[in-house]
Structure 1
Amino acid sequence: MTRAPLEPARVVFDPAGPPRSAEFGDVYHARAGALEQARHVFLGGNGLPRRWQGRERFVVLETGFGLGNNFLATWEAWRQDTDRCARLIFVSVEKHPLRRDDLARAHEGSPLPALAAQLVERWPPLSPGLHTLGFEGGRVELLLGLGDARGLLRELVLQADAFFLDGFAPACNPELWDAYLLKGLARLAAPGATAATWSVARPVRDGLSAAGFEVERVPGFASKGQMSVARFAPRHLPQRPAGREPLAPGARSAVILGAGLAGAACALALSRAGLACTVIDALDAPGRASSGNPAGLFHGTVNPDDGPHARFNRAAALATQAQLAELGLPHQQGLLRLETRLPLERMQDAPSYVEALSREAASARAGTALGHPAWFYPGGGAVDPAAYARALLAASGAELRLQTTVAALHEQPGGWALLDAAGGLLAQAPLVVLAGGHGQLPLLGPAADGLTVQRGQITRLPQAPWCPALPIAGEGYAIADGHGGLWCGATAQDGDADPALRAADQADNLARYARMAGLAEIPQAPLAGRVGWRLIAPDRLPLIGGLAAPGPLADQLKLQPRRPGLVLCTALASRGITWAALAGRLAAALALGSPNPLEADLVEAVDPLRFALRRARRGKPAV
């Protein structure tokens, strides 16, 4: 689903009253107080904090984020509750999000200054789609959907325990309250879900009733005499599609195969969901295979139609930016990607998380002359991937078992057994995640069809005649090592198993480097670098999700039953650094049934069964 560009909110700050929306001509909250209103209407109206007590996970879905006061009030109530749920996930959509400066101004003098400051600090670039903001070491999560609510709600994959129905008044913003939108809440409601809103408008109450809610009026907040509360009690519970069922509901432990970036990210996401994780790898240290290069890039991509690749890469790059900041991992921040096809005037409609720079401006950023304009990714950069994997593993607290090769998986009641080459039992768990890249092809079964193992060689240039201050990407890439040299590359040869450094490949890397640098001559250097292998899917997107259960393949991915307790998170190609954080979160969400951090169409874009479904459709006779 291609997203339209966002229009940031135009906030009118009134010293005599609450902030007002210029678009809708309405105030953001009651004059009697935003937090007081949130506590009475939304927390009280949904029976919180009582209803989340003792729960492993509680999910709130809000229909209008606004200034974020309902989230802050809910977060503060969670912090104050000694019997709180283990994880609070607050999902909210907003068509006109505030710019960071306006958000900071809106919370000047906030009664919750520490929480408001964290929200402002983590506020994402205003780009369409879902953004995950983590707080309290991942125990509180804000899944913020930026864009039109009608489109975003259709794309959410979750079950909400409580609905905060907020937004500007129905007379000002009717689309947020109409029967179509309210009916869509039924698909997202967990059994026994509740809803609350300050509105008692008849169309709102009727829309909730038609969606399967039992609605009543109760005393309202401040000057509003009444408000509406509701409980989801439909005559017939909507059936959840088989492909959307959690793969390992209730699992308390997991075994992850692979101690590279994918496996480490899965370990962190699952451990934060409360699982005891064990990470198994055949090599003698984390990040030694595909994640073993000394440095690598991370950044999004710009696509004129903002298609699935651009949207996935943007979401993943922003997730990586946030993850590195949270870990405090040293890395090179900021990246320039040379644009050799488009003139500068056609680069101006860039999404908010990337800047279009002229050749002169890009050269100033790089600290050296460039021959082309460039896209500047402030949140992109370069990092040591093995160090990143180690940091993820350390943060996860997972048990690490190295120099252990898993030769086979055996399904058994309640989970899986992992066997060595002699058939001996290595481990067993209710949830197994295959995150080991090309080394695990024999374990993937039919999901391995069409995957390519690609050899890549990078080059070490000890003294670089052209050494930019920022990582540069283009025809190739260049990453300074901080000592006057750099790494450049990389080659790509499918099905090539040669582990030796090759002079011809080094010559290719240096030739690309010379063209990027605009050098008259190709530099010469002793043969030095590294060879590694990437696992690549035909459409250059990863494989994240479950495998098909025995039986005929369904004609839609969301309807396809999956093998319980088994999740793939693999084929991260040459974008492991960029994709790992988001891939790990998605794998954990699919396993446990928590809200997906991606829209449904992007979840299907990385589903491991997408190629099998396409083959099956091509094989069907025309009707």
Structure 2
Amino acid sequence: MKSPAVAPAEVEPPDPHAMDRARRVFIAGNGLPGRWQGRERFVVLETGFGLGHNFLATWDAWRQDPARCERLVFVSVEPPPPRCEDLARAHAGCVLAAQLVDRWPPLTAGLHALSFDGGRVELLLGLGDTRHMMRELVLQADAIYLDGFAPQHRREPWDEWLLKSVSRHAEPGTTVATSHMSRAMGKALSALGFEIGPVPGLASKPEAGAARFAPRHALQRPAGREPLAPGARRALIVGAGLAGAACALALSRQGLACTVIDALPGPAQASSGNPAGLFHGTVNPDDGPHARFNRAAALATQRLLVELGVPHSQGLLRLETRLSLARMLAAPGYVQPLSADAAAALAGTALRHPAWFYPGGGAVDPGAYTRAMLAASAAELRLGTAVAALEPHADGWHLLDAAGQRIASAPLVVLAGGHAQLPLLGELAEDLVVQRGQISHLTDAPWCPGVPVAGDGYVIADGRGGLWCGATAQDGDLDPALREADQLDNLQRYTRLAGLGEVPPAPLAGRVAWRLVAPDRLPLIGGLAAPGPRADQLRLQPRCAGLAVCTGFASRGIGWAAMAGRLVAALALGSPRPLEAELLDAVDPLRFALRRARRATNPGLAG
């Protein structure tokens, strides 16, 4: 099994001069704090996080500057990340470092977005192979810290390929500073379009260097990576469930005034209105896109629930029926493999299979979660308002009712609803299936789990001696009535999970809702194709200005919402994307149309 975990760095001896060097070389060498003053957003890209001295010094400089930018985004790549205890030891007594330690993520491969100062400071930490992560980052940096270049501290064979990879994240005016500017490095940077110069005030350290990106030719960026609504100050979000609330929260934290519109009389009235639901990641042997997206989304959910103070159960068991315990033990990280006996002790019943224990997973009331996100966003709610059509105009989009009358207008519109919103999705609707799901409620259950248990179905204690279990899945079934056959199906799943001898009797009780499901069981998050010829790569496809979709959440709305909202905000405004490029493509709404086009031109292609 491919492990999602990243091996931690060996502990380095403390460097008493690290913070001072960060201020003199990297902060001053990039012309800070002056260059970020008066800016809406300033992005720093660092090539080696180490023990976080550069980040902490930059964050401190930002806090001390009364003319600071509105938002500071610090992106850092680190192949062997430090352990939490090493960070704490290196920065004992530092108030800012204590916050970093408190939010330090599990050491799993990929990007981890950590927020500070009410979301105005974000650390986007990329853990894993440096070459891979630099290639997968989607961002344009204002300042670059080339750290980790000292020969005695090299963690990678830094060469022209890596410098070229770094330069792809620069734009005209981007500055670079490094504490070790070798002749070969200077020559390589010059060839890439950087003008080399000394670091101001460091005449005693001639090996330090600075540079400014001044390319000789106009840069061409992939059309599909351009922001959907750069500079937008207002957004309309259609859908007041988990997806819409998460988009409103993320966009509001980027300074946009948001209005959430829904046809129903209250938030979380459709598929987000179930009384309880699960959130957790997934594990698969190759740690492919599904596992990596679900892991990133689950960790984002865990952080947001804590931040918003939403009550939720802590910990979740998911039974493993394919892998042996020996193979499970090869995948440490944010999830813990347990034997059947160890899992049974947590569940409070006999289990026939080993299980994954997700310490950060659990169960939550999705309605409470939705309302908490909406409250934190301070979004305007317009409920009982059905949107029948969209109409482009010079400054964005009009939302129209069934009579063709304008409901509202804004430079950015996000379609974040469920199956009732299919008519607004155009050709995307062809790729989505409406799936009916029924859950069941037992008020007097023979077994209530100590933690939520998932596998072939799921069981969640309701806190009052009863439980919720489910769920059925019928494609294209629009029957809203509770059905005895589906109740029996849910109770049979419960019986198998609990290891009971027979199905317990229970009166018909539960809830019916509908999910939108994509063929690959991943959401649709991103922009729609602009009119004109279609490109043969998602990253090259131009998008409709000011329009995004955030839908197809299947049965994972709770676990996907937080990440989806952050991604919509990044795609709309052009801030660093919180997911790697491969995962952006994995959830791109146009992925199915591209696959159809490829099959049409080459019938031998499988997907």
Aligned-pair distance for 1:104?
A: 1.3
User: After the TM superposition, which residues 90-101 of structure 1 pair with which residues of structure 2 at under 5 Å, given as runs?
Assistant: 90-101=74-85
Aligned to 2:601: 620
Write the distance in 2 (CA, Å) between the matches of 1:622 and 1:402. 47
The answer to whether 1:479 aligns with 2:460 is yes
Aligned-pair distance for 1:168?
A: 5.1
| Per-residue Cα deviation, 1:392-412 (whole angstroms, up to 9, x for no partner) | 011111111110000000001
Aligned-pair distance for 1:4?
A: 6.7
The answer to whether 1:341 aligns with 2:322 is yes
The answer to whether 1:229 aligns with 2:210 is yes
The answer to whether 1:564 aligns with 2:564 is no
For this pair of structures, how many residues does the alignment match?
A: 603
Of stretches 74-83 and 162-171 in structure 1, the one that deviates more from structure 2 is 162-171
Q: Secondary structure at the match of 1:83?
A: coil
Aligned-pair distance for 1:346?
A: 1.7
Aligned-pair distance for 1:148?
A: 1.3
Write the distance in 2 (CA, Å) between the matches of 1:566 and 1:335. 36
Aligned-pair distance for 1:253?
A: 0.3
Write the distance in 2 (CA, Å) between the matches of 1:282 and 1:305. 42
User: After the TM superposition, which residues 25-424 of structure 1 pair with which residues of structure 2 at under 5 Å, given as runs?
Assistant: 29=15, 31=16, 33-109=17-93, 113-167=94-148, 169-170=150-151, 172-173=153-154, 175=156, 177-218=158-199, 224-424=205-405
Write the distance in 2 (CA, Å) between the matches of 1:151 and 1:208. 20
Q: Secondary structure at the match of 1:449?
A: helix
Question: TM-score, normalised on structure 1?
Answer: 0.95
Native 8 Å contact 1:549 1:563 kept in 2: yes
Aligned to 2:586: 605
Native 8 Å contact 2:29 2:200 kept in 1: no
Instruction: Describe the shift of the 1:217–1:441 C-alpha distance in structure 2 as closer, same or farther (beyond 3 A).
Output: same
| Per-residue Cα deviation, 1:530-589 (whole angstroms, up to 9, x for no partner) | 000000111110000011111121111111111100000000110000100001111111
| Per-residue Cα deviation, 1:199-249 (whole angstroms, up to 9, x for no partner) | 121122122112211011236759734410000001113211111110101
The answer to whether 1:539 aligns with 2:552 is no
Instruction: Write the letter of the residue equivalent to 1:177.
Output: W
Instruction: Write the letter of the residue equivalent to 1:36.
Output: D
Q: Secondary structure at the match of 2:565?
A: helix
Which structure 1 segments of 5+ residues have no match? 19-28
Write the distance in 2 (CA, Å) between the matches of 1:174 and 1:80. 32
After superposition, the CA RMSD in angstroms is 1.5
Which structure 2 segments of 5+ residues have no match? none
Native 8 Å contact 2:262 2:382 kept in 1: yes
Write the distance in 1 (CA, Å) between the matches of 2:3 and 2:530. 33
Native 8 Å contact 2:45 2:143 kept in 1: yes
Aligned to 2:8: 8
Write the distance in 2 (CA, Å) between the matches of 1:133 and 1:525. 45
Aligned-pair distance for 1:366?
A: 2.2
Aligned to 2:477: 496
Write the distance in 1 (CA, Å) between the matches of 2:435 and 2:60. 49
Instruction: Describe the shift of the 1:404–1:341 C-alpha distance in structure 2 as closer, same or farther (beyond 3 A).
Output: same
Write the distance in 2 (CA, Å) between the matches of 1:361 and 1:102. 30
Aligned to 1:22: none
Native 8 Å contact 1:186 1:238 kept in 2: no
Aligned-pair distance for 1:290?
A: 1.1
Write the distance in 1 (CA, Å) between the matches of 2:64 and 2:308. 26
Percent of counterpart pairs with the same letter?
A: 72
Question: TM-score, normalised on structure 2?
Answer: 0.97
Aligned to 1:593: 574
Write the distance in 1 (CA, Å) between the matches of 2:129 and 2:77. 8
Instruction: Write the letter of the residue equivalent to 1:450.
Output: D
Instruction: Describe the shift of the 1:261–1:174 C-alpha distance in structure 2 as closer, same or farther (beyond 3 A).
Output: closer
Match of 2:417 among 436, 440, 446: 436
Native 8 Å contact 2:481 2:512 kept in 1: yes
Native 8 Å contact 2:396 2:410 kept in 1: yes
Instruction: Write the letter of the residue equivalent to 1:51.
Output: R
Write the distance in 2 (CA, Å) between the matches of 1:53 and 1:63. 24
Q: Secondary structure at the match of 1:141?
A: strand
Aligned-pair distance for 1:466?
A: 1.0
Structure 1 runs (4+) deviating above 4 angstroms are: 2-5, 219-223
Write the distance in 1 (CA, Å) between the matches of 2:110 and 2:315. 22
| Per-residue Cα deviation, 1:139-187 (whole angstroms, up to 9, x for no partner) | 1000000011111011111100000111151354273531111111221
